[in-house]
Amino acid sequence: MSLGPETSLHDETTPTADAAQERDPSEKAIAGRSLKQIAWRRLKKDRVAVGGGIVILVLILIAILAPLLIKLFGHPFDEYHNDKIDPTLGLPLGKLGGISGDYLLGVEPVNGRDIFSRIVYGAQTTLTVAFLSAFLSTILGVLFGMTAGFVGGWVDSIISRIMDFLLAFPQLLFSIALVSVLPQTMFGLNARWARSIVLICVIGFFGWPYIGRIVRGQTLSLREREFVEASRSLGARSPRILFREMLPNLAAPILVYTTLIIPTNILTEAALSFLGVGIPPPFPSWGGMLSDALQFYRYDPMFMIIPGAMIFITVLSFNLFGDGLRDALDPKAR
């Protein structure tokens, strides 16, 4: 910050600017609640967001309890059940794609694998990939975004240029290409988890500029605030200012955009699996199931509708929850 004639002017204007940026100052002043408490109260009142949150929790539970659920209600995900298939047509016996008490969501055409088990296992893969890639994007985005905003100068221009470049890059095409040339198994992992790791890295890497841009912008404005100056005049070094003073102030936008990047990641993972470069068969993924359904959807629509609906419900829940979280943390964005 420069000293001299501007300083007094700056000092005069900051309180008003501060008040505008402070989230709900009156409430804070009277009740003395933290932003976390305020946001939590607002979020609880937002029924749609709570609904989305509950669906997300249920999905996470399903993913964690997958082996148990399959033992109780399903059949192994790669077990063939030819007796459930009409031998001449190759389609499931019974109505609605073979839905019955034994096969809760019916069976696949031709080989009769249990769709319920495949959906449950698919939830595991989808959520793991979506969460971890969002986590990776966030870490990279925060790291680079804060560095760019805080250091400034040529570091900022290089990082900003890289972010612009990545945002203007044929991402899906490149992800498909990259994933397809990598081997299916590695690090001694089976194809399912080896591919999941590749997907996490690719999706996470292309996602970081979205968060990076926001963090950079916020860091730029935080850098000029008094508390940073105060901290520095007390002798704090840059790492302390960055992580102890500024990072807590960035928590809200980081949380919101991490939540909102998860549904995008789910769609990307499903798209890659749909195009045949995601989770390889016989391991189930929702996108892969839709891809299998391409051949059969005219005759067995349930086979297409079930994985499609799962993707839709999951993505919608994350969007609803993310929107609610944003409104709760930043009422201006409503």
Q: Which residues bind other proteins (CB under 8 A)?
A: 165, 167-170, 172-174, 176-178, 180-183, 263, 267, 270-271, 274-277, 287, 290-291, 293-294, 297-298, 301, 304-305, 308, 311-312, 315-316, 319-320, 323, 333
| Spatial separation of the C-alpha atoms in residues 202 and 161, rounded to whole Å | 20
Cβ proximity to other proteins: between 128 and 319 the closer is: 319
Least Cβ distance, residue 33 to other proteins (angstroms): 26
Least Cβ distance, residue 234 to other proteins (angstroms): 38
**Burial state string for 246-263 with b = 16 or more CB within 10 A and e = fewer than 16:** bbebbebbbbbbbbbbbb
- Altogether, the residues listed in the chain come to a count of 334
Nearest alpha-carbon partner for 268 in 199, 184, 195, 316: 199
Least Cβ distance, residue 68 to other proteins (angstroms): 29
Cβ proximity to other proteins: between 174 and 227 the closer is: 174
Least Cβ distance, residue 275 to other proteins (angstroms): 6
| Spatial separation of the C-alpha atoms in residues 271 and 176, rounded to whole Å | 9
Cβ proximity to other proteins: between 139 and 182 the closer is: 182
Least Cβ distance, residue 301 to other proteins (angstroms): 6
**Alpha-carbon distances of 144 from 31, 89, 209, 242, rounded to whole Å:** 36, 56, 9, 12
CA-based angle 62:65:68, to the nearest 5?
A: 125
Least Cβ distance, residue 220 to other proteins (angstroms): 19
Cβ proximity to other proteins: between 2 and 16 the closer is: 16
Sign of CA dihedral 12, 18, 19, 25: negative
Cβ proximity to other proteins: between 109 and 287 the closer is: 287
Backbone angles phi, psi at 85, to 5 degrees: -115, 135
Least Cβ distance, residue 145 to other proteins (angstroms): 20
Stated as kind and residue range, the H or E segment containing 221 is: helix 191-223
Rg (CA), the chain: 25
| Spatial separation of the C-alpha atoms in residues 262 and 237, rounded to whole Å | 34
Cβ proximity to other proteins: between 197 and 267 the closer is: 267
Cis peptide before 282 (omega within 30 of 0): yes
Cβ proximity to other proteins: between 237 and 298 the closer is: 298
